[in-house]
Amino acid sequence: MAMTRCAFPILICQQSTMSYISLSILNKRIEEGKPFSINVEPKVPGFKEKGGVAINFLDKPPQSSDEESNILFHFNPRPPNKIILNSHWQGAWQKEVVLEDDDVQEKLFGRPFELTIKVLSHDEKKGSEFLVFVNETFQTTFLCPADITHTEYIGFSPALRISADIKTFE
């Protein structure tokens, strides 16, 4: 499958498996102590693909190969009842966190939802600790091996529509 390299500065770019949006174009940043939210809308009602969909927080522009990319935070709801959280750091996936919730299908695929993170701490060497919320409901505290405040891009599955402020991206 051919991959497309994106031009910079990037507002939105679509590759074969993900679309990307630059936080700098949106004039948004992830900061310690401040909630960072995105609104997510499934474009396919009743989505049921086994692998689910993904929202990825990246520290640098999307690259043409996984070996060059760091995914600081990987949010992967999977029907019918799981949410997978992870990081892909320095070429390797880290320890996966699995959240089980019988309402995943309805909450995350049946209607729009809001994904929010709130950074508790961050450090260049120690990584980050942040809270994860869906629709203002606390899900878990996530430990990331990298500094999540360095997020520059958000990648998302083509089956999703992401909005921030008054702009919508597909």
Domain extents for the chain? 20-165
Is a pLDDT exceeding 50 seen at residue 26?
yes
Separation of alpha carbons 57 and 20, rounded Å? 10
Query: What local confidence, expressed as pLDDT, does residue 67 receive?
Result: 57
CATH 3.40.430.10 fits 20-165, yes or no: no
Query: What local confidence, expressed as pLDDT, does residue 68 receive?
Result: 65
Q: How far apart are the first and last CA of the chain?
A: 20
Quick: pLDDT tens for 95-130.
999 999 888 877 888 789 999 999 999 998 999 999
Name the percent of the chain lying above pLDDT 90: 51
